[in-house]
């Protein structure tokens, strides 16, 4: 192993439950009567795909622009608080990767604006060699493009990289890229993680794996 490629939401920051519960709340106000599990299917997608899936759940009673505006307004009024949302052990894991001489990349489906806010707010910047947003690509996770691109930027082969993910789409993307995938489990969310090579409950376990594989 020569590099660790990290997803952001649900991996380095504890944001997925925050976003899913918030999204469910404003969707309920628009008349959504489906389940929390159905809403959670948007996890790991880019914002454009997220909005398309939400429109389906809302049975196209609203326009894309209306949904986008409502979502942005809600989360502007209810923002994430950095660095409080950093996952326990996230900074220590990134520091350990650098101590071991490993390259690191942040490969998130979130917007670059959201990524930069999290990286700055949580102090991840000094420990990341490369940052990329899924919105830079035509294909989003589960397509492997984002991870293959990151490996290329680091001048590494896919088999030299380990992916740390949480969502089904992200896990599928890492596997499709030909990389080993470690899934971080969050028992509050219905993520399907069966395709991961290893499933862990805490980032300290990822650190132990990194020390073993480095």
- The string of pLDDT tens digits covering residues 104-140 is 999 999 999 999 999 999 999 999 999 999 999 999 9
Q: What is the 3-state secondary structure (H, E, C) of 51-76?
A: HHHHHHHCCCCCCHHHHHHHHHHHHH
Mean pLDDT score, 18-45: 97
Instruction: Supply the pLDDT for residue 123.
Output: 98
Q: Can you tell me whether residue 101 is helix, strand or coil?
A: coil
Instruction: Supply the pLDDT for residue 130.
Output: 98
* Position 75 confidence tier, pLDDT thresholds 50, 70, 90: very high
Instruction: Supply the pLDDT for residue 191.
Output: 95
Measuring CA to CA, how many Å separate 172 from each of 48, 118, 144, 190?
19, 24, 8, 16
Mean pLDDT score, 144-167: 98
Q: Using CA atoms, how far apart are residues 168 and 148, in angstroms rounded to an integer?
A: 18
Crossing angle between the packed helical segments 203-213 and 90-99, to the nearest 10 degrees: 10
Q: Using CA atoms, how far apart are residues 203 and 197, in angstroms rounded to an integer?
A: 15
Query: What is the pTM for the complete model shown?
Result: 0.96
Q: Count CA atoms within 13 Å of residue 182 on its CB side.
A: 22
Q: Can you tell me whether residue 131 is helix, strand or coil?
A: strand
Instruction: Supply the pLDDT for residue 134.
Output: 95
């Amino acid at each position: 192993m020569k590099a660790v490629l990290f997803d952001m939401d649900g991996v380095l920051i504890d944001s997925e439950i925050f976003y899913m519960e918030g999204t469910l709340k404003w969707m309920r106000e628009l008349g959504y009567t489906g389940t929390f599990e159905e809403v959670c299917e948007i996890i790991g997608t880019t914002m454009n795909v997220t909005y398309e899936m939400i429109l389906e759940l809302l049975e196209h009673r609203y326009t894309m622009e209306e949904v986008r505006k409502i979502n942005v307004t809600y989360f502007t009024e209810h923002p994430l608080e950095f660095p409080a949302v950093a996952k326990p052990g996230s900074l220590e894991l990134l520091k350990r990767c650098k101590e071991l001489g490993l390259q690191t990349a942040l490969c998130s489906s979130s917007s670059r604006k959201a990524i930069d806010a999290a990286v700055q707010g949580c102090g991840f910047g000094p420990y990341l060699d490369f940052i990329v947003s899924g919105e830079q690509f035509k294909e989003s996770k589960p397509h492997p493009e984002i991870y293959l691109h990151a490996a290329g930027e680091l001048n590494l082969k896919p088999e030299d990289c380990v992916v740390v993910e949480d969502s089904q789409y992200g896990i599928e993307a890492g596997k499709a890229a030909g990389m080993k995938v470690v899934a971080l489990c969050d028992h509050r969310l219905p993520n399907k993680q069966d395709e991961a090579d290893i499933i862990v409950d805490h980032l300290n376990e990822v650190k132990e794996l990194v020390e073993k594989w480095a």
